[in-house]
Chain A
């Protein structure tokens, strides 16, 4: 095959493959959408008619380290409200972190909520490879389906204000 013909063929096939796999097919989680299937790496908790806050973090991320005490205070606020304790879950996913590295982060910052390792970046890739920290809030419907109501990059600020926003977005504020 002549070189020019080869180049044309490769370009044609590349365009065909790209159209079959549009960019952003595994983009960042969109508000109003649903999470991609993340199991078996991560199984989404499903508090009945509740919500889940997912923190995407890394032990190696300076902002995640700096934000850890604030996220802990958020968790304390959730636990201290008997109405929210069973309705609103907070979990962290340590992207690119081994179980050992997640444990180090947990112990260093005395994190009391569940943290899961994603050592092979499988979850991270499925979520569109967000920079860290990244927070996702999903509303769990009574039928077990869910909807993303918050999907944003960056640290959370005042935990009280963040919690209020989450309660408003999920309809848990009554």
Chain B
């Protein structure tokens, strides 16, 4: 009986130690911020890796959408049908660490995407003014950035990529020229999808 109480005390001590350690040594983030954003990045901390239920699958037709673009006008997904493959890159939110550390990389490999006859559409649930200010820090992006702000996350919702807190997942959707989804990666929101994985999938396109 006494032994059992002692064991329980030791167990409690280690639980308390782990709890205390979680305050002192918070989870380490996997990102490196560019000075381009100065001190203006909001860190939401480590988030639930995935918080939505997909409504689409590889082999299905990609749901169409029309969204306003940062540069002006609107972009309709189906307008690329028969002409270009499309890579949708949904990001959770502007001015956050991993998101700020993603599209600028795609920006220096336009030739790589051109080689696979693929255009990129960047999509965020932020409104246009916020996206304008944020993407201006990235230099001039060669691909359109679309605002899925209103109705809030409408496009993300049709794909099943809207999280319960109103942000979108960090997701890559590759759609072929016929409008069929060829690749889906609902990535851990806390990490950036490696570029080589995307290129490997582009290589498989018909």
Contacts and interface: CB of A to CB of B under 8 A. Distances in A.
Interface of A: 1, 6, 9-14, 16-18, 21, 58-66, 95-96, 98, 100-101, 104-105, 108, 120-121, 124-125, 129, 131-133, 153-155
Most chain A CB inside 10 Å of its own CB: which residue of B12, B17, B102: B17
A121 B33 CA distance: 12
Interface string B90-115: 00000000000110110111001000
A21 B25 contact: yes
B194 to A, nearest CB: 5
A10 B108 contact: no
B30 A132 contact: no
Given A62-B137, A96-B101, A131 B194 contact: no
Given A59-B105, A121-B32, A17 B24 contact: yes
Interface string B16-48: 110111011100101111111000000000000
Nearest to A68: B108
A121 B30 CA distance: 7
Contacts of B24: 14, 17-18, 21
Contact of B192 (A16, A96, A154): A96
Given A10-B16, A98-B196, A131-B32, 15 more contacts: A6-B16, A17-B24, A58-B32, A58-B34, A61-B32, A62-B137, A96-B31, A100-B195, A101-B195, A101-B196, A104-B108, A104-B195, A121-B31, A124-B32, A153-B35
A154 to B, nearest CB: 6
A59 B109 CA distance: 10
Contacts of A105: 108
A153 B35 CA distance: 8
A17 B192 CA distance: 31
A129 B32 contact: yes
B102 A60 contact: yes
Which 7 pairs across A and B sit closest by C-beta, in order of nearness? Answer: A13-B20, A61-B34, A60-B105, A100-B196, A14-B20, A95-B32, A62-B36
Given A98-B196, A108-B109, A63 B35 contact: yes
B43 to A, nearest CB: 11
Nearest to B108: A108
15 contacts: A17-B21, A59-B105, A60-B32, A61-B34, A61-B101, A62-B34, A62-B139, A63-B34, A96-B101, A98-B194, A121-B28, A132-B32, A132-B34, A133-B35, A153-B35
A58 B36 CA distance: 12
B34 A131 contact: yes
Most chain A CB inside 10 Å of its own CB: which residue of B16, B28, B32, B101: B32
Given A9-B16, A104-B109, A125-B28, A65 B104 contact: yes
Contacts of A62: 34, 36, 104, 107, 137-139
Contacts of A59: 105, 108
Nearest to B30: A121
B54 to A, nearest CB: 26
Most chain B CB inside 10 Å of its own CB: which residue of A63, A105, A133, A153: A63
